[in-house]
Amino acid sequence: MASMSRTLAAWVAGLTYDDLPADVVDRARGVTLQALTSALVGEQFPDSRDALAMMREEEAGGGGACTTLGSGVKLTKAGAALVNAETIFAGGKWDTFRMLTHPGCAIIPAALVGAEIANASGKDFITGVVAGYEVMERMAADFIPTLMSRGFHSGPVFGIFGAAVALAKITGLNGDQTHAAIAQCVNLASGNLEGARSGGKALREGGAVRNAMLAVAMARHGAAGGETALEGKAGFYHSYVGNNRGDLRYSFTADNRADMDNITANLGQDWMFLETLYRIYSTAGYNIAHVDVTAALCAEHGIKYDDVERIHTVVNWLETEYPSPAFPSRSGLPAIDNPHYYAAYAVVTGGFPLDKFVQRKTGEADPAAVLELMQRVTITPSHRHPLFAPSVTIHLKDGRSVTKDGTGREFIFDFEGLVSRMGGIAPSLPVPASQYDALTQACRTLETLDRAESLIPLTRIPK
């Protein structure tokens, strides 16, 4: 029986654009636009500029093989990939999968490198992106909470696999080479929670995508990969999750067992990629649905701020234990940038500003009513509640109460839905509206591009 990495690699190597359903292609267009939009936002912040300065210094004298988003600076493949990942991450407009991974921050930079060095078409780019997302998300899905409880950060730890698979596919690695790249990712996967907990800067997807470049290079040059590097007795799941049997310390659903066979089951038929959410608000994923579900409840019943006595919301328990029940960092009390704040914002304003980034102190000032109302919001965790699907009850001053249950799919859009929801960000971007329109159109028709790298100049910031 083929090993897990062999099975994944064979599927990746055999995947063609014609194998992709229309909704999968549409999602690939969307995650590309989301990442490039986030890069345009992030290029304005110090994190992005610091990463670029670091790589220019570290790679002095190196070749300029690939291009950075926004600045257009040429760096090595690994350098450009790291800077682009950091730039996307800085913008805060990421996609998210099961709360604690952000695939686009690793996979899109790797795919752009692949497109640039291989002169890949739009169809090739899409196929690589889809392969990267599907492999990464299948590997991560059930194991994220347990891995986080062991001190690892699931974003970069799983992100390296998605980035390597995307790059391997776009640059034409065969099944054996792709298997070897996945196996080498086991040696190179990294990311830990303690640095950020103790006042430092965490190594995030920038490190993951840089290491993915090395894994793919090793595979291309003949470095063999172990046959059972993922599921073996001393393999990836034993090392990072604590066992290779599927036993879970924590889970989103309170189930303590995952079926390891699900990682490779029905490849090309069941698309986990379609579970990827868009974070259109620049805040943690566990906050986003509090805006839209609460705002929709108010709109349905004509509720205004002056009508509200209090708000009570039930959420998935891990949303209250971020980043892990083993290492919680949130008080659970009403505070700016906690769910209470976003629910109050939805009542007072009917939404949340797309250009507001609380952690970076950008955007308009908070209305006084938001800061007052958030003190009257309570959050209750539930072990069986769906992820990102708050059940919101608004208690009114007239004694009535109304409830709306989130679905967890409020932030799953098709491409045109994403464009519609993200349209309000355009005036705050550092490029002309016509340029952002051109970028949007290029993503909309991504499969028609002769060269996918033509996306990169559309992110160039005018001098």
Give me the domains of the chain, ranges plus CATH numbers. Answer: 4-278 (1.10.4100.10), 285-405 (3.30.1330.120)
pLDDT at 240: 98
Positive/negative CA dihedral, 441, 443, 448, 449: positive
pLDDT of 296 > 80? The answer is: yes
**Cis peptide, bond prior to residue 323, ω within 30 of zero:** yes
Does residue 206 contact residue 82 with C-beta atoms inside 8 Å?
A: yes
Split at pLDDT 50, 70, 90, the class of 66 is very high
pLDDT of 62 > 80? The answer is: no
Dist. CA 220–CA 177, nearest whole Å:
6
Q: What mean pLDDT is predicted for residues 7-35?
A: 98
pLDDT at 203: 85
Question: Which residues contact residue 140 at a Cβ distance below 8 angstroms, ignoring those fewer than 6 apart?
Answer: 97, 98, 101, 154, 158
pLDDT of 340 > 80? The answer is: yes
Per-residue model confidence as pLDDT tens digits over 205-244: 999 999 999 999 999 999 998 999 999 999 999 999 999 9
Per-residue model confidence as pLDDT tens digits over 95-108: 999 999 999 999 99
Split at pLDDT 50, 70, 90, the class of 93 is very high
Per-residue model confidence as pLDDT tens digits over 112-157: 999 999 999 999 999 999 999 999 999 999 999 999 999 999 999 9
Inter-axis angle of helices 122-140 and 104-118, to 10 degrees?
Answer: 150
pLDDT at 201: 87
pLDDT at 60: 81
Q: What mean pLDDT is predicted for residues 53-66?
A: 88
Neighbour tally for 399: CB within 10 Å: 7
Q: What mean pLDDT is predicted for residues 321-344?
A: 93
pTM of the entire structure?
0.97
CB contact burial 86-117 (16+ within 10 A = b; e otherwise): bbbbbbbbbbbbbbbbbbbbbbbbbbbbbbbe
Dist. CA 369–CA 364, nearest whole Å:
14
- Short-list 282, 418, 306, CA closest to 360: 282
Counting residues of the chain whose pLDDT is more than 90, the rounded percentage is 94
- What single letter denotes the amino acid at residue 192? N
Q: What mean pLDDT is predicted for residues 23-38?
A: 98
Dist. CA 451–CA 430, nearest whole Å:
25
- Short-list 365, 383, 354, CA closest to 288: 354
Per-residue model confidence as pLDDT tens digits over 407-428: 999 999 999 999 999 989 999 9
How far lies 64's CA from each of 77, 119, 217, 386, in Å? 8, 16, 17, 46
Dist. CA 93–CA 64, nearest whole Å:
28
pLDDT of 462 > 80? The answer is: yes
Across the chain, what does the average pLDDT equal? 96
Dist. CA 279–CA 276, nearest whole Å:
10
Per-residue model confidence as pLDDT tens digits over 254-270: 899 999 999 999 999 99
pLDDT of 390 > 90? The answer is: yes
pLDDT at 245: 98
pLDDT at 64: 85
